[in-house]
Amino acid sequence: MTKQYPRIYSLSTVGLIHHREFDYLFHPFRTDFIGESGSGKSMIADLIQLIFVGSEAFESATWGTDIREPEGMVLQAEKRSKGVGYAFLNIEMAPAQYLVVGSYMETGNRSTQAFIIQTGYDWQHIQYLSAPVSFQQILKEEDILPIDLLTEYLDEQGLHMKTWQRYKEFHKILFREKIVPLDLASSEKLLNDYAAILQSFSRGKMLDTHKSDSLKQFLFGNQETRKILDNYKSAEKDMEHAIGEYGHNLQEIERVTSKQKALIDLRELKKQRDEQQHRWLHRNLLFYHQETTRLEKEVNDGIIQYKSALQHQSILKEFLADEINRVNKILPELELAQKTAEQEYEAILPPHSQVKQLLDWLAEFNCSHEELGTRYKEYKRNQSEKAVLSPFLYALQQKSIADAFDNISAKQSAAELNLYLVDVIAEREHQIQQKNRLKKYANINDSESLANWALQQKRAFTIEEESAILHFQDLPRKKPADLNNYLPEPAELILSLSVAEKSDNSFWITLNGIRKHIPYVTGQILDTTDEGKIRSYFEQYTNTLDKDVRELEKELSIYQAILETVNTQDNIARILSAYPRKDILHKLSDIPSLNISEERFQEYQELYLQKATIQEQFTRAKSTKEQADDKLRLAKANAGEYNAISKAMDIHTKPDDDVQFILDQFPRSVTCPDSYSLEKENISASLSRAMNKTDFFRNQGQLTQPVLSRIQQLPSLKSSLDCNQAELEKAKDQYLKWYEHLPVSLETEEYITEPKTEHNAYVIAEERFIAKYTSIIEQYIAYEAYRFADTKDFTELAKNLLPEAFYNVVVDQSETNVIDTIATYLTRINEKNRQLNNRKIQKIKNLLDEVDEIITQQENTIRRIDNFLKSDAQITGGYTARLRKTSAVNYPKTWMSTFKEMIEDEAGALQSKLGEKIDLAEMMKTAFHNCGGPLHANTAVAKLLDPSNYYELSFTMESESGRINKGSTGQTYAAVALLCIARLSIMSSEEGKAAAPAVRIMPIDEAEGLGSNYDMLYDIAQKYDYQLISLSIGPVGKFRDGEQYLYMLHKNMEVEEPVNYTPVAILCESDKMSNV
């Protein structure tokens, strides 16, 4: 089992991940690479693909754990800024004849460089090597050289290398030397198709056989479609002028028709504008005539009323002046009478006030005149006591000792109160001293306490001993500095206590001949040895003593404050005397009027005896004064009112300069009636009947004021009249601008409002007309807009708007007949368009002929591949791979033949519909829909001219009975491999001819999963002259000595770099070479 020449002899790697520097010898038929995931076995197939197709078309066949771009395959250099690497094949062209083809890579550069190594210098006639090149020949003292330095280094070894950054020349040499089966330099599509086949052999880059588009793209690509589209663009360019003329003619028809319609619309707007204009101008004329007449009457009436009111006011002022003189004459007499009455009143007022005050006191005390003196004296005494007592009570309240003082019974005199306070203060101080002594005794925690000493004795004491302990508690235990008694050792006293005599409450002891009296304790505590009981008692007793001391100190503080307060009072005897009556005095009301001397009080008493006479004189004087006051006040009020009324009349009597100017200009015939005397008599009669002359003058003056005030509006009214007269003249001018004569009469019975609505309607109609007029100019003759800037002449616009052929029609005929004349002109344009339309249809027919031809070619290729698949091999399980074609639903091929038949009928519906379209794309879309194409289909030109859209492909695995099986993973891969072989076979040879010699490889990734299908691929590879490259984790079947090579790859886990240990090679014994 050996592949024919040429074939891969070896693959060498230099500076690449996983493989580092190594020579992999290839068996002439089968070479296996096994290793765990990440060991770089799939990279073997990638490197071979990269060498043949280059970096532009390269794509890794499988996903790996490392970067599968060419730059990612290079190990990072330690000494250089970037890493470089090489992968090259020794192609065995014939026995002992080799040619090296390879690829140069470097980090940071996506592009690779191709290179070939031979022995000669002529690259048109290659001279093969007599021995393969090893990776060791690439290294220079273990260093990897950049490609430019490597060329010189190889020259030194008699090896000549040439590099290419662009692969076209490289591919030409490979095809010429029969290394690749296809001329990859001839087209980019062929190169990509070849790369896709190499990728599809590997399982990781499996072709999606379930998708029709994927199959069509794999088999045919899009080169032919692009060529047809280029022809379509050329046709578009060729027809550019014809399409432009055709479109121009359609536009001319549309444009002229559009102009005609625009003129008709403009004429209607002009008619509406003219109607609204006449209505507004007529009503505007009527309105200002009406307003001018009305204002003339208002001015005339206002002046007449003003002069009449002025005459009336003048008469009133005469009578008012007489009344003012009369009042001014009697005022001195009234003032003298008022002054005399006031003096008499002021004289009697004081005694009357005193009598009235005494009557108030009688009511206050509810007593008789005789009793009032006693009540006066009692009141004065109470007020005196209250004045003395109040400060003292206030001081007690401020110090919060009022209740304590009130509770003291011994306060009949100052001496008694002082004695009581001194005694009680001394008593409280003594009690506090006694309590503090007991506190010291009861403090059993104080080492100085005799109770503490007694508790430490751990025994019971007699009542005499306990009484002595308490009695001598005040003696200090240490010698005092003041030479007083002290008790250093209590035991010496208590244990040797000598009782001389006893009584019920006390006893006597003998102290070296001295008798000492000691009272018994009220309750014995130390008569027990229960320390806890003793401690509990003394603790409770101490708390009680503390409380007692606080209470005593509080009482002491109160009594001391009382004593201090008492001692600060100057009238303490009077205070203590009045104190029992404090509540009565507190409630006593103050009568300010009684705060007078006794002499003054006696005067009140004596005047009271003349009460009747005083009251009578007071009443008479008061009445006289009030009458005099009223008369004087009324006279003065009248004088003031008359003067105010007179001044008010003067305010509006004289008009200002503007008013007077108008009055002077007013015709003399407009004057007030001469009825001065009659009106004066009427006013005099009314005045004599008036109940109140002041009201009469005021009311009469107020009646004339509005009329006199309104005269100030005369300038404004006259101004309005002038404005309306000007507006009337303006309205007449506007009317005569458009019409020859004014209306016969401007009088109307109805009231005319200002014609704002009519004017707005006219403005809107004018704006619509102008907008349409301007729109037509901007739309059709914008370049001549300046000619119509100051005119809106309909006829002139029509003459300039329509084509030259229609000038006479516009002038001689009405606008409604223009469209009939235009139709004759458009008939000639339609005939020209029909001829142009036929040329476009012919272009479409030619393009569809191309599409039909390509479809036929692709269908033939599909048939040949299907024949190859069903005749060459069966997949395990008795299944055969099939490639079938069906017609596309959305793009039926029959529409093209239908189209060719229908266009023969020039008068048919299709010709008419196509005539409506301008460009080829729209015509093709219309033709497709009218010749059987579904409406929902995408009718883009790229779709209609794509041959692959007119059929669908399906790739299946079928049994002899026709049953379709989805297939296992292994079966599916075997089928894909067959499709790849078939595609390459069809691409590289004509039907019925054998394939030319070439390097053909079949890389099979994860080969151990193919099962028995691997044997089928084994046989197919042998039949079609392929070298098998098996890539798997474990061995595929039993090792066949002499029929395969096997390499075991192992990752080097001892270093961080992604490199393997040196591969373990298992080669056929007969093919081992000593230099490997």
Tokens representing residue 266 in the block: 């403009």
Three-state helix/strand/coil letters over 734-792: HHHHHCCCCCCCCCCCCCCCCCHHHHHHHHHHHHHHHHHHHHHHHHHCHHHHHHHCCCC
pTM above 0.75?
no
Q: Average pLDDT of 644-656?
A: 72
Cα–Cα separations (whole angstroms), residue 720 to 132, 713, 763: 121, 11, 26
In the predicted structure, residue 499 carries a pLDDT above the cut 50: yes
> Exposed, middle or buried, 540 (CB in 10 Å: 0-12/13-18/19+)?
exposed
Look up the domain containing 523 and give its range.
461-527
Residue type, 168: K
Cα–Cα separations (whole angstroms), residue 69 to 57, 106, 234, 632, 1002: 11, 11, 39, 128, 22
- Is residue 905 a part of any domain in this protein? no
* Domain boundary, last residue among 766, 801, 836: 801
- Is residue 272 a part of any domain in this protein? no
* Cβ atoms of 521 and 512 closer than 8 Å: no
Q: How many domains does the chain have?
A: 3
* Cβ atoms of 1022 and 29 closer than 8 Å: yes
Reference 359, options 605, 596, 591, 588; nearest CA is 605
> Going by C-beta distance under 8 Å and a sequence separation of 6 or more, which residues neighbour residue 352?
614, 615, 617, 618
- Is residue 299 a part of any domain in this protein? no
* Domain boundary, last residue among 527, 556, 584: 527
Q: Tell me: the pLDDT tens digits for 437-468?
A: 777 777 777 777 777 888 888 888 888 888 88
In the predicted structure, residue 553 carries a pLDDT above the cut 70: yes
Q: Tell me, rounded to whole angstroms, the distance of Cα 597 from its chain centroid.
A: 91
| pLDDT of amino acid 830 | 63
Q: Tell me: the pLDDT tens digits for 8-32?
A: 999 999 999 999 999 999 999 999 9
Q: How many CB atoms lie within 10 A of CB 4?
A: 10
Tokens representing residue 800 in the block: 């300039």
| pLDDT of amino acid 53 | 95
Q: How many CB atoms lie within 10 A of CB 553?
A: 15
* Domain boundary, last residue among 742, 775, 801: 801
CA distance 530 to 534: 6
Buried b (16+ CB within 10 A) or exposed e, 946-962: bbbbbbbbebbbbeeee
Tokens representing residue 510 in the block: 């003998």
Q: Average pLDDT of 620-645?
A: 81
CA distance 150 to 857: 48
Which stretches within 239-366 are classed as H helix? Answer: 240-365
Q: Element (H or E) spanning 1005, and its range?
A: strand 1001-1005
What strand order describes the sheet that includes 506-511? 499-502, 506-511, 514-519
Residues forming beta bridges with residue 106, ordered by sequence position: 84
CA distance 679 to 671: 16
Q: How many CB atoms lie within 10 A of CB 774?
A: 15
| pLDDT of amino acid 810 | 47
User: Which DSSP category does 818 fall into?
Assistant: H
- Is residue 794 a part of any domain in this protein? yes
Q: How far apart are the first and last CA of the chain?
A: 22
Residues forming beta bridges with residue 97, ordered by sequence position: 94
More confident residue, 104 or 355: 104
Q: How many CB atoms lie within 10 A of CB 285?
A: 23
Check the CA dihedral 460-464-467-471 and report its sign. negative
- Is residue 784 a part of any domain in this protein? yes
More confident residue, 872 or 62: 62
Q: Average pLDDT of 47-74?
A: 83
Residue type, 703: L
CA distance 871 to 851: 30
Cis amide prior to 6 (ω within 30 degrees): yes
CATH code for the domain of 167:
3.40.50
| pLDDT of amino acid 815 | 46
> Going by C-beta distance under 8 Å and a sequence separation of 6 or more, which residues neighbour residue 257?
819, 822, 826
More confident residue, 825 or 232: 232
Residues above pLDDT 70, as percent of the chain: 85
CA distance 329 to 747: 64
Compute the mean pLDDT over every residue in the chain, rounded to the nearest whole number.
80
Q: Tell me: the pLDDT tens digits for 302-341?
A: 787 777 777 777 787 777 787 788 878 888 888 888 888 8
| pLDDT of amino acid 847 | 78
More confident residue, 848 or 666: 848
> Going by C-beta distance under 8 Å and a sequence separation of 6 or more, which residues neighbour residue 310?
653, 672, 704, 708
Q: Average pLDDT of 695-705?
A: 74
Q: How many CB atoms lie within 10 A of CB 221?
A: 18
| pLDDT of amino acid 812 | 46
CA distance 910 to 160: 69
Q: Tell me: the pLDDT tens digits for 555-597?
A: 888 888 888 888 888 888 787 777 777 777 667 677 766 667 7
- Is residue 880 a part of any domain in this protein? no
Q: Tell me: the pLDDT tens digits for 226-272?
A: 888 888 788 777 666 655 555 566 666 677 777 778 877 888 888 89
Tokens representing residue 449 in the block: 């306490």
- Is residue 205 a part of any domain in this protein? no
Q: Average pLDDT of 86-107?
A: 96
- Is residue 419 a part of any domain in this protein? no
Cα–Cα separations (whole angstroms), residue 352 to 355, 617, 619: 5, 9, 10
3-state class of 84 per DSSP?
A: strand
Residues forming beta bridges with residue 129, ordered by sequence position: 98
In the predicted structure, residue 1052 carries a pLDDT above the cut 80: yes
Cα–Cα separations (whole angstroms), residue 569 to 197, 382, 416, 480: 134, 19, 16, 45
> Going by C-beta distance under 8 Å and a sequence separation of 6 or more, which residues neighbour residue 61?
42, 45, 46, 49, 198, 199, 200, 201, 202, 204, 205, 1003, 1005
More confident residue, 798 or 110: 110
Q: Average pLDDT of 288-308?
A: 80
* Cβ atoms of 558 and 371 closer than 8 Å: no
Q: Average pLDDT of 97-106?
A: 97
pLDDT category at 216 given cuts 50, 70, 90 is confident
What strand order describes the sheet that includes 20-25? 20-25, 7-16, 84-94, 97-106, 113-118, 160-164
Residue listed under structure tokens 């765990």: 36
Tokens representing residue 611 in the block: 């009460």
3-state class of 412 per DSSP?
A: coil
Phi–psi pair at 419, nearest 5 degrees: -60, -45
Q: Tell me: the pLDDT tens digits for 390-414?
A: 787 787 888 888 788 878 888 788 7
